[in-house]
């Protein structure tokens, strides 16, 4: 094993200790009995280990390394720095929401999705449940300390978290936390889990709820939801921009990039609107898209079936555009009721490495008559095929690479790829008609809007209502999704930047390769190059594609 690979494996251990719940989703089963330790001491210790890895990676001489190790070294540096930036953001202090980035919501989202296949895993799962009380107790203390230090959560999101906890506390024996243990042969463990639920977990939830209820009295109002309103908010937001975009980008640069692309995309929407509705007036097009009842769904089952058809259609066309197609098909399911308020349109859950949990595109089918038909296909291509499903399953299969490179760690690469595939789907001829293609355009403009709104909230001091007004004016999202989107921007600062930043960079990388190679450019080989290195930070991906381009040119 090379030094670069050893550093990569060591960093995986650090990331596992930072977030054992996410590690379990990644298939790192050694972490199955652990819960995250959110204490300041534990976070500082993780940061120190990550910082040491950065130092040792930088000491390696690039000129003496083979190409594969240079890529691994670069990823180690970037991801170890990301660990430091995440901890520097002090998110455990002010992140209280029903979205699965907050402590309670995260546990309730990830734990039911852990696969349990034998008694050893069942015992580990019970050990993890037994740590639930300590986990929430530490989280509550971080919230209290953060509030005292001038970094309180947002009142509205605290209310959402409280509602989510009330729903969880009202659950009976069907509590999803026991789902992994409800299998033949594990009845004894299921019973132990039920006792833990009653004696430990629900009392812990009630105590946590009481603490955040008190904090709500001092929480940020809707007029001051951004990080710029908390102590050290500017450097905290800068850290999160680095985490989610892989780059040093100023807030003003990101904000203006977003505004420019909103204008460009409105021009595309005008041209499509002329074909669809006989008008190029964007305001009129948006009005039609929002209020024409014929463009709404009748029921949730209709939505679910349409999503499945879209994914199946993409699977048929994919071999013409990809050199390698995943053997495992993408499953399409409805978002579970417990998360439907926090997930606007859909999300993707990666498959478990052993194959028991398939890669799944969850589509939100609640309140279907308030959701739009034209959004279905683009969401399916983004979350499912050829978006996250191709990306994540391909990375999982790269067994010759260190695990670090197989994990979906770079937000800008992960989300940039999925947004790139929305446009790619248009090239592939996957959109059923101009209306569905309009769905691609209005989805794209939303990602440009995210650049504007995320920086507006967290750097420029926008109110929640100002953010909502901007989203409403520049997108066609229904109100049920507008508020969920804005709440997500508030509760997960910086993540919304990753989509358009990543898509623009991947598109730039492709355009550069096409220009250099001319008629020697092959789209299947290009996609293979983008996906075959694992989840790469954008700067590293650019170097990898550049090396591929040069190698082809040298063959002449």
How large is the average pLDDT for residues 126-137?
Answer: 97
Interval 522-533 mean pLDDT: 97
Rounded to an integer, what distance in angstroms lies between the CA atom of residue 530 and that of residue 88?
31
pLDDT at 353 over 80: no
The candidate with the shortest Cα–Cα distance to 33, out of 45, 49, 17, is: 17
Domain ranges for the chain, please list them. Answer: 3-223, 241-295+385-502
Q: How large a percentage of the chain has pLDDT more than 70?
A: 99
pLDDT over 90 (residue 491): yes
Report residue 248's pLDDT band, with 50, 70 and 90 as the boundaries.
confident
Taking the CB of residue 64, how many other CB atoms lie within 10 A of it?
8
Give the pLDDT confidence of 443-482 residue by residue, as tens digits: 999 999 999 999 999 999 999 999 999 999 999 988 878 9
pLDDT beyond 80 at 312: yes
Please tell me the predicted confidence (pLDDT) of residue 247: 87
pLDDT at 354: 74
Q: What is the pLDDT of residue 338?
A: 67
- pLDDT-derived band at 360, boundaries 50, 70, 90: very high
Residue 481 vs residue 75, higher pLDDT: 75
Q: Examine the pLDDT at 350 and tell me if it is beyond 70.
A: yes
Query: Residue 343 pLDDT > 80, yes or no?
Result: no
- Supply the pLDDT for residue 340: 65
- Token output for 112: 């039911």
Whole-number pLDDT of residue 356: 80
Res 50: pLDDT: 98
- Residue 395 has a pLDDT of 92
Quick one: pLDDT at residue 341?
A: 65
125 pLDDT more than 80: yes
Please write the tens of the pLDDT for every residue from 379-392: 999 999 999 999 99
Segment of 177-191, 342-356, 478-492 carrying the highest mean pLDDT: 177-191
Nearest to residue 31, comparing CAs of 407, 533, 397, 410? 407
pTM reported for the whole predicted model: 0.91
Supply the mean pLDDT for the chain.
Answer: 95
Alpha carbons 344 and 334: distance in angstroms, whole number: 12
Report which of 166, 139, 146 is spatially closest to residue 220, judged by C-alpha positions: 146
CA distance 188 to 185: 8
Selection from 416, 323, 430, 450 nearest residue 385 by Cα: 430
Percent of the chain topping pLDDT 90:
90
Confidence of residue 27 (pLDDT cuts 50, 70, 90): confident
Of the listed ranges 107-116, 232-241, 305-314, 434-443, the one predicted with least confidence:
107-116
Please report the pLDDT score of residue 555 as a whole number: 86
Structural tokens at position 470: 């901007």
Identify the pLDDT of residue 200.
95
CA distances from 230 to 92, 221, 390, 431 (A): 14, 12, 39, 44
């Amino acid at each position: 094993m090379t030094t670069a690979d050893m550093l990569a494996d060591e960093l995986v251990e650090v990331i596992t200790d930072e977030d054992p719940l996410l590690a379990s989703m990644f298939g790192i089963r050694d972490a199955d009995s652990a819960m995250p330790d959110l204490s300041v001491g534990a976070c500082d210790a993780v940061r120190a280990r990550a910082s040491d890895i950065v130092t040792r990676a930088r000491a390696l001489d690039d000129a003496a390394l083979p190409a594969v190790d240079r890529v691994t070294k670069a990823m180690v540096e970037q991801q170890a720095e990301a660990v430091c930036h995440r901890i520097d953001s002090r998110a455990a202090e002010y992140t209280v929401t029903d979205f699965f980035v907050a402590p309670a919501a995260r546990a309730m989202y990830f734990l039911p999705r852990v696969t349990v296949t034998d008694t050893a895993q069942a015992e580990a799962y019970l050990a993890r449940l037994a740590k639930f009380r300590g986990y929430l107790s530490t989280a509550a203390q971080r919230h209290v300390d953060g509030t005292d230090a001038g970094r309180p959560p947002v009142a509205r999101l605290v209310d959402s978290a409280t509602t989510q906890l009330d729903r969880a506390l009202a659950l009976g024996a069907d509590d999803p936390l026991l789902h992994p243990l409800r299998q033949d042969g594990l009845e004894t463990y299921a019973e132990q889990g039920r006792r833990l639920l009653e004696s430990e977990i629900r009392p812990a939830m009630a105590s946590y709820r009481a603490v955040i209820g008190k904090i709500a009295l001092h929480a940020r109002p809707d007029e001051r939801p951004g990080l710029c309103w908390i102590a050290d908010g500017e450097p905290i937001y800068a850290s999160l921009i680095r985490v989610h975009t892989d780059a040093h980008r100023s807030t003003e640069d990101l904000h203006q990039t977003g505004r420019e692309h909103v204008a460009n995309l409105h021009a595309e929407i005008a041209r499509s609107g002329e074909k669809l509705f006989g008008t190029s007036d964007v305001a009129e097009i948006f009005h039609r898209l929002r209020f024409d009842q014929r463009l709404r769904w009748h029921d949730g089952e209709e939505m679910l079936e349409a999503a499945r058809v879209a994914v199946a259609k993409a699977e048929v066309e994919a071999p013409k555009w990809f050199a390698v197609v995943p053997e495992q098909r993408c499953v399409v399911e409805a978002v579970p009721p417990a998360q439907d308020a926090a997930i606007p349109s859909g999300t993707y859950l990666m498959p478990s490495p052993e194959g028991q949990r398939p890669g799944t595109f969850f589509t939100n089918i609640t309140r279907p008559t308030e959701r739009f038909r034209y959004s279905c296909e683009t969401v399916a291509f983004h979350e499912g095929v050829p978006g996250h499903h191709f990306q994540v399953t391909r990375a999982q299969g790269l067994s010759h690479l260190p695990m670090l490179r197989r994990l979906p760690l770079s937000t800008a690469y992960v989300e940039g790829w999925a947004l790139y595939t929305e446009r790619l789907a248009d090239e592939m001829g996957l959109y059923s008609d101009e209306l569905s293609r309009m769905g691609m355009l209005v989805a794209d403009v939303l990602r440009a809007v995210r650049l504007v709104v995320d920086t507006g909230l967290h750097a420029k001091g926008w109110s929640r209502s100002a953010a909502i007004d901007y989203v409403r004016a520049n997108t066609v999202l229904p109100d049920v999704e507008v508020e969920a989107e804005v709440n997500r921007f508030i509760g997960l600062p910086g993540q919304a930047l990753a989509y358009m930043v990543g898509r623009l960079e991947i598109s730039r990388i492709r355009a550069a390769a096409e220009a250099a190679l001319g008629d020697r450019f092959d789209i299947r080989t290009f996609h293979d190059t983008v996906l075959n290195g694992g989840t790469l930070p954008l700067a590293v991906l650019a170097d990898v594609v550049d090396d591929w381009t040069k190698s082809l040119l040298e063959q002449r």
